[in-house]
Amino acid sequence: MGDKDSSQLEALRRDLLAAIRESKTELRDELIEALAESRRELTEWRAESRSDLAAGLAESRAEWRADLAAGLAGVRQDLGGAITESRLELTAELRREIGGVRAEISGLRKAVEMVAIKLLTDREVLEVRRAIAG
């Protein structure tokens, strides 16, 4: 009986070691598969995150550009209005100045005409002219 028990124990030990090895191999394979699946999921998540981030950035850039364009359009409109207003004010001021210069020239013409008439009709001037002519 001793040999039979011993061989049964030995067979049990071998079976147990084989079961442990098989279980260990199965666990290792499951862990490797779980790690590979986790890596795939992480890679997919990274790709999706990058894609979402790129889309968000592109959308933000588009919004910023639109806001900037709208702001610049407003500034252009304001500047255009200010420039037009300045032109109108300058034109009115120049017209007033030109009117003043014309009035001054007209006054000077009248003064010159009066002096010329005086020179042409004054007796003393006529006598001096006759004396010079001779």
pLDDT, one tens digit for every residue, the chain (134 residues): 567 878 888 898 999 999 999 999 999 999 999 999 999 999 999 999 999 999 999 999 999 999 999 999 999 999 999 999 999 999 999 999 999 999 999 999 999 999 888 888 888 878 888 888 87
Distance CA 107, CA 127 (A): 29
pTM: 0.44
* Greatest CA separation for the chain: 183
Tens-place pLDDT, residues 29-42: 999 999 999 999 99
What separation in angstroms does the CA of 46 have from each of 9, 51, 58? 54, 8, 18
For the chain, domain boundaries? 2-133
